[in-house]
């Protein structure tokens, strides 16, 4: 009989699960001695946090296997004459992965949950070895991926990547430099598809270009030094995100596409009338919307892909089904073609509560997305019954529920005036009782404060900036509001508009299906703001509608995580309005930034403009230290001006609570949890397997 686990109260558990916020190394740096000491002081919860570990790549061709094996389901197709032999499907230069613990076994279906078509990132993170380059499991080292090698010129202007010889798409068609040229000339440079240059493919506001040197060599060239570009190609960025990530929000990045398949949907290779006719026959309003649907790997089961699994049941059905890619380019050290797992079935959950209940019941084999930190005590209580383990992967971003101010808002001039007022934003921040939020929604294990990342991050300007304008001080908040002219109040104590149109009301927009309960957090902030005379109205929207409103510049304040700030240059969209794909701080400003002033609207705040100019200049700095110094100054500006308002962060709340079936092998005890190396992608899910 198994030994009965000692019971603990919820509060005792919370105390025991205190997380070492700086324990994970990030891109280009390692934990400081102080960070390590801090981690040592908080070892009580180590059984849930574990050791950072993961698989490794074999880079020496002399050690690559010479013979190959394959899954039984593929061997049957070969025998039936429906597939070529495995030796003809694997590239001459494969990606060789040394599994974490052992060579795996073939077979099985990975059970997982998702929340609908808007949850595409759920699959992106699993198939993400379709990226050009890749951050390793520590998040500190760039590794080969689709590209087997890369070279940066001494002046930082030219980056050449070398592809793997013999690599093929999932339909067997060769994958070559021509797929990059097609993307650049016919997709990215097509202003019907990509209206403006993207900041990921620019330096100091000047666009780069892409050329082909030969069938297996692609050259990215910039007019000025761009020493950040290799990091960008390896990160989960618009440019480096790969074929899967590029589909999120219909982005057209990723730097390559299956030319042989996509050409049929473009007017250039047929005619406008012909592609429009096909689009309307398929139920679309024109060729462009149809093309975007056809290159979306989540919705189109026919589009060729490069990841370990491809979609066989679309994401707009109750079960998003994936099945192994017979031409996947990865093998283990014994020559077995990856992935080990045959299929992935993601079952639609009507809401997050349903998804978490299924996880508690052991109905998922591996789930880190949407699993709620608030459920940790319940997860622990049901481990034996559900035959799973609970593992925590703390992140280093500053705030899991960030009040992202729309600095381009103009629909209501009165509201716009105050949102653009620094002292008003400071007052809102001072009015938030973050310790109460932490205890209620983060189980007391988050870190309250501003939006800056953990002090272990080289981007952090220092501990004092975590508290600046970010501690509860309603007296000071009221003084600031009085000072700027919001002195008149109604009978309930709420401040009145200065235009004579009644009570001043600020709308907090939240998304249904967020990783933590943003709507409930907004409701608590609403109560906090009563003490400073500010009326807040919360408005929860379905996720797709949430971002549609943001894209349309209709929101006032949107609540979202500022994940990615720990690697500012790789994922800046939650720190500054620079990415026109997702700009919670003002899409017109992001459009202006991305187009180098040709579109959108410039920020009116000189401090915002200063921060954007500093951000733009960082790519030309040769050393990491120079770039870190610029980032620290940017964060000082962000915090001092409260461009966005932080609450609580540095926790496992965002995809850091893993439920892992005990049947699975090669699962790391701890995964790096950051935007440039997203869970579980850096652990190479293709190496996960069922032990029995």
How far apart, in Å, do the first and last CA atoms of the chain sit?
23
Whether residue 11 has pLDDT greater than 70 = no
Per-residue pLDDT, 564 = 85
Pairing of strands 206-207, 202-203: antiparallel
Per-residue pLDDT, 116 = 92
Per-residue pLDDT, 570 = 86
| Cβ atoms 397, 672 nearer than 8 A | no
351: number of CA atoms within 13 Å, CB side?
6
Distance (Å, whole) CA 534 – CA 670: 42
Whether residue 43 has pLDDT greater than 70 = no
**Kind and range of the H or E element at 659?**
strand 657-661
| Cβ atoms 522, 508 nearer than 8 A | yes
Whether residue 24 has pLDDT greater than 80 = no
Distances (CA, A) of 525 to 232, 471, 531, 653: 36, 13, 10, 19
Residue-wise pLDDT tens digits, 517-534: 999 999 999 999 999 999
Per-residue pLDDT, 251 = 55
| Cβ atoms 28, 403 nearer than 8 A | no
Query: DSSP class of residue 94?
Result: P
**599-613 mean pLDDT:** 96
Q: How confident is the model at residue 455 (pLDDT cuts 50, 70, 90)?
A: confident
Strands (E), 192-276: 202-203, 206-207, 209-214, 217-221
Q: How confident is the model at residue 690 (pLDDT cuts 50, 70, 90)?
A: very high
Residue-wise pLDDT tens digits, 263-311: 999 999 999 999 999 999 999 999 999 999 999 999 999 999 999 999 9
**103-117 mean pLDDT:** 97
Whether residue 44 has pLDDT greater than 50 = no
Whether residue 595 has pLDDT greater than 70 = yes
Q: Which two tokens stand for residue 315?
A: 């994401």
The single residue listed with the structure tokens 């110094």 is 629
Whether residue 578 has pLDDT greater than 70 = yes
Distance (Å, whole) CA 445 – CA 422: 30
Residue-wise pLDDT tens digits, 164-195: 999 999 999 999 999 999 999 999 999 998 88
Helices then strands, each counted (H, E), the chain: 25, 27
Q: Which two tokens stand for residue 44?
A: 């009580």
Kindly report which listed range (2-16, 268-282, 485-499) carries the lowest average pLDDT score.
2-16
Whether residue 476 has pLDDT greater than 80 = yes
Q: Which two tokens stand for residue 224?
A: 């000025």
650 or 23, which is more confident?
A: 650
| Cβ atoms 548, 403 nearer than 8 A | no
Query: DSSP class of residue 185?
Result: I
**346-351 mean pLDDT:** 94
**604-628 mean pLDDT:** 91
Whether residue 603 has pLDDT greater than 70 = yes
Distance (Å, whole) CA 344 – CA 274: 37
Tell if the pTM clears 0.85, that is, is over it: no
Q: Which of 621, 633, 612, 635 is nearest to 454 (CA)?
A: 635
Per-residue pLDDT, 18 = 38
Per-residue pLDDT, 14 = 43
Query: What are 392's strand-pairing partners?
Result: 657
- Phi-psi map region of 424: left, alpha, beta (phi>0 left; psi -120 to 50 alpha): alpha
Average pLDDT, the chain: 90
Distance (Å, whole) CA 393 – CA 376: 13
Q: What share of the chain has pLDDT > 90, as a percent?
A: 75
Per-residue pLDDT, 20 = 34
| Cβ atoms 455, 29 nearer than 8 A | no
Per-residue pLDDT, 246 = 59
Per-residue pLDDT, 46 = 52
- Phi-psi map region of 263: left, alpha, beta (phi>0 left; psi -120 to 50 alpha): alpha
Query: What are 391's strand-pairing partners?
Result: 658
**52-75 mean pLDDT:** 97
Burial environment of residue 87 by CB neighbours within 10 A (0 to 12, 13 to 18, 19 or more): exposed
């Amino acid at each position: 009989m198994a030994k009965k686990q000692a019971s603990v109260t919820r509060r005792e558990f919370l105390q025991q699960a205190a997380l070492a916020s700086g324990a994970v190394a990030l891109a280009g740096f390692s934990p400081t001695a102080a960070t390590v000491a801090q981690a040592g002081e908080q070892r009580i919860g180590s059984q849930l946090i574990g050791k950072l570990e993961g698989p490794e790549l074999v880079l020496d061709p002399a050690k690559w296997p010479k013979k190959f094996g394959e899954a039984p389901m593929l061997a049957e197709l070969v025998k039936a004459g429906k597939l070529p032999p495995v030796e003809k499907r694997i590239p001459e230069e494969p990606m060789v992965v040394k599994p974490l613990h052992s060579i795996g076994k073939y077979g099985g279906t990975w059970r997982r949950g998702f929340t609908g078509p808007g949850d595409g990132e759920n699959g992106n993170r699993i198939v993400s070895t379709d990226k050009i380059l890749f951050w390793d499991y520590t998040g500190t080292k760039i590794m080969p991926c689709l590209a087997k090698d890369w070279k940066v010129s001494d002046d930082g202007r030219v980056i050449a990547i070398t592809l793997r010889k013999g690599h093929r798409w999932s339909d067997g068609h060769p994958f070559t430099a021509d797929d990059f040229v097609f993307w650049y000339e016919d997709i990215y440079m097509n202003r019907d598809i990509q209206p403006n240059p993207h900041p990921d493919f620019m330096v100091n506001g000047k666009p780069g270009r892409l050329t082909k040197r030969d069938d297996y060599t692609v050259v990215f060239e910039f007019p000025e030094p761009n020493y950040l570009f290799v990091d960008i190609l390896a990160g989960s960025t618009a440019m480096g995100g790969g074929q899967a990530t590029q589909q999120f929000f219909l982005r057209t990045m990723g730097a390559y596409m299956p030319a042989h398949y996509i050409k049929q949907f473009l007017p250039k290779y047929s005619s406008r009338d012909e592609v429009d006719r096909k689009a309307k026959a398929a139920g679309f309003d024109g060729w462009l919307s149809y093309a975007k649907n056809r290159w979306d790997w989540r919705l189109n089961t026919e589009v060729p892909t490069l990841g370990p699994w491809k979609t066989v049941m679309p994401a707009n059905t109750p079960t998003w089904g994936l099945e192994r890619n017979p031409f996947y380019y990865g093998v283990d050290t014994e020559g077995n073609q990856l992935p080990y797992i045959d299929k992935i079935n993601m079952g639609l959950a009507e809401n997050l509560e349903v998804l978490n209940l299924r996880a508690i019941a052991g109905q998922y084999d591996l789930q880190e997305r949407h699993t709620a930190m608030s459920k940790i005590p319940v997860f622990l209580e049901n481990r034996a019954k559900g035959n799973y383990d609970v593992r925590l992967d703390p992140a280093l971003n500053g705030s899991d529920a960030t009040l992202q101010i729309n600095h381009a808002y103009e629909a209501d001039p009165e509201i716009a005036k105050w949102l653009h007022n620094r002292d008003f934003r400071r007052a809102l921040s001072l009015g938030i009782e973050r310790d109460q939020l932490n205890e209620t929604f983060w189980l007391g294990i988050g870190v309250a404060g501003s939006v800056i990342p953990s002090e272990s991050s080289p981007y952090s300007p220092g501990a004092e900036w975590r508290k600046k304008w970010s501690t509860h001080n309603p007296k000071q908040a009221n003084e600031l509001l009085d000072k700027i002219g919001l002195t008149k109040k109604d009978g309930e104590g709420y401040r009145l508009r200065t235009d004579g149109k009644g009570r001043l009301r600020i709308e907090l927009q939240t998304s249904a299906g967020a990783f933590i309960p943003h709507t409930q957090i907004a409701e608590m902030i609403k109560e906090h703001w009563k003490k400073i005379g500010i009326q807040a109205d919360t408005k929860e929207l379905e996720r797709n509608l949430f971002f549609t409103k943001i894209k349309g510049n209709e929101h006032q304040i949107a609540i979202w995580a500022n994940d990615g700030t720990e690697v500012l240059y790789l994922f800046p969209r939650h720190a500054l309005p620079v990415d026109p794909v997702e700009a919670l701080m003002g899409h017109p400003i992001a459009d202006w930034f991305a187009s180098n002033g040709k579109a959108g609207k410039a920020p009116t705040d000189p401090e915002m403009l200063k921060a954007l100019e500093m951000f733009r200049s960082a790519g030309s700095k040769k050393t990491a230290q120079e770039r870190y110094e610029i980032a620290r100054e940017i964060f000082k500006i962000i915090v001092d001006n409260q461009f966005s308002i932080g609450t609580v962060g540095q926790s496992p709340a965002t995809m850091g609570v893993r439920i892992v079936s005990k049947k699975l092998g090669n699962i790391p005890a701890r995964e790096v949890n950051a935007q440039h190396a997203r869970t579980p992608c850096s652990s190479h899910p293709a190496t996960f397997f069922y032990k029995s």
